[in-house]
A and B are shown apart, each in its own frame.
Chain A
Amino acid sequence: MLSEKAVKEIEEITTRYPVKRSAVMPALFVVQKEYGYVTEEGMREVAKILGLRPILVFEVATFYTMYNKKPVGKYHIQVCRNISCSLLGAEHVVGIIERKLGIKVKETTSDKRFTLSEVECLGSCGTAPMMQINDKYYESLTEPMIDDILKSLK
């Protein structure tokens, strides 16, 4: 069950729009924050709060890539693989992280600390190569930097 605070937050979000349905996307972020990922139970709760058929919530959750439909590690590492980052060694960045964490792309470490993903452009092309870990951008990456960043994430 969503916490009372989360439900209140979703209800507050609906006041920003003339129709409740508009709150689906922000509400799914609330669910993701609450459960760590977008659970089926969470989607049903959003549907109930917003007075929608559950399918209308499911279809939004599965269309947009930032909603995790299964659990991810405590730190979700997302390496940009688009053109500007690729030109400056995105593949190399992925290789370094794979080696250091002992996992491949789309995998999670056994201690559930890290999930590694490749993603499309994150709008940080002038400071390529780059990655995003949870909400934070790490830019102009070098191997020693990646080392330090991973060590700092406990």
Chain B
Amino acid sequence: MFEPVLLKNINTPDSFKIDSYLKNGGYRSLKKALEMSPDSIIQMVKDSGLRGRGGAGFPTGLKWSFIPKDPTIPKYLCCNADEGEPGTFKDRAIIEKDPHQLLEGMAIACYAIGAANAYIYIRGEFALGGDRLEDAIREAVSKGYLGKNMPGSNFSLNIYVHRGAGAYICGEETALLESIEGRRALPRIKPPFPAQVGLFGKPTVINNVETLACVPHIIERGAAWFASIGPAKSPGPKLFGVSGHVNKPGLYELPMGTPLREIVYNHAGGIKNGRSLKAVIPGGVSAPMLTEKDLDITMDFESLAAKGSMLGSGAVIVMDDNTCIVKSALIIHEFFHHESCGKCTPCREGLDWIVKVMRRVEGGEGKEGDVDLLLKLCGDVFGRTFCPLGDGAVMALRAAINNFRSEFEYHVSNKRCMVNGRGKVNR
């Protein structure tokens, strides 16, 4: 049985309050870190092998090391708490139930990169989470763990909460920066990368909540301990959120590299109502879906990429054999269509065209050749967009068509659903 690291405190009473956090050893890692040199902290995080938990899997220590060392340049840390990838509910658990774990990780990161100010970009819908974070910041400042002259040092840090207002695109790091600057969240062209020109034009690190929450544990228990959990190239504990047709949906903390089959059948209790598995999305809706034959895959960055999918946010969405894949693909595509920011033409127009074709196919009004048209449109969008939103949208749809092409064709030729027989579906 794997002993939880990130979720170890969440069931203690008042786990979101500082007294509870301190009782469980909280803020010891910050004290320890403040006695180390910033460079040795960055080295430790590099040695741990920690990779970004927001989806991209970029090595965290390496990202921190790109920040210029010049102390006269202001620097920023932004915590990406815009958790919006459908299927994902891991960061919300940390924020609502153990916000000090995140604040401690942020404080250590800020000290390591020399940032005196940090923002937590939390999606606006997480009202409770935003309130918990603001309360936690106040508590930490009043106890001297944040603010001026932190424990045993002359390092000072302000952390602010910035609430989003309903836009998936803000999870894209440069769109997030635009949003904090008070603009529409349109992604920026890279380079320059945020480590050089980020928030307010200054060097900036953007890290996901779960990534930052790993940091105090690395400081406390060492890089070698972290690196020893899971596969060598993708080590550490990982939060997997399981949703859909399973008996025990929920959040599971397991070693990176846990087989997908074990997550679905052991931890999440298998498929509901004794049905069988038809498809599973392994990392949030941008991650191409897998089927029964792929279930022995281990859940880590490399293994999923090798299968043409991705670990993404570790959000596992399970569909049983009674699920209409065409409809599921439409729901997912409507999401991307709704959330496209409109900045670049392939994504704005491509996803709009795709959604029109998808709606008629699903609704029993498809035309001959529509399935090939969908694949062609996917190809027209893929690799041509400003940010990964468009790629995610078409990768998801392509995987649905490639795995279940006969269902799409059936919708077109029989004007109804292959699974439930429904004709023109009212949505």
Contacts and interface: CB of A to CB of B under 8 A. Distances in A.
Q: Say which size band chain B's interface belongs to.
A: 35 or more
Contacts of A83: 86-87, 244, 281, 285, 317, 328, 331-332, 335
A127 interface: yes
Contacts of B88: 121, 123, 125
B89 interface: yes
Interface in A26-66: 26, 28-29, 50, 56, 59-60, 63-66
A126 B242 contact: yes
Interface in A64-86: 64-67, 81-84, 86
Contact of A132 (B86, B125, B241): B125
B427 to A, nearest CB: 8
Interface stretch (B175-183, B301-309, B344-352, B409-417): B175-183
Given A63-B167, A83-B332, A84-B317, A126 B89 contact: yes
A66 B125 CA distance: 8
Contact of A60 (B160, B182, B243, B249): B182
B323 interface: yes
Interface string B260-285: 00000000000000000000010001
A86 B182 contact: no
B182 A24 contact: yes
A86 B331 contact: yes
A56 B181 CA distance: 12
Contacts of B390: none
A18 B243 contact: no
B84 A64 contact: no
Contacts of B128: 135-137
A124 B182 contact: no
B400 to A, nearest CB: 11
A21 B182 contact: yes
B169 to A, nearest CB: 9
Interface string B337-349: 0110100000000
20 contacts: A21-B181, A22-B162, A22-B182, A25-B165, A29-B165, A50-B182, A63-B185, A66-B125, A81-B331, A83-B331, A86-B331, A87-B328, A119-B166, A120-B339, A123-B123, A123-B125, A125-B89, A125-B317, A126-B241, A135-B128
Interface of B: 83-89, 91-92, 123-128, 160, 162-168, 179-185, 200, 241-245, 249-251, 281, 285, 315, 317, 319, 323, 328, 331-332, 335, 338-339, 341, 427
Given A66-B124, A83-B317, 5 more contacts: A29-B124, A87-B323, A87-B328, A120-B339, A128-B243
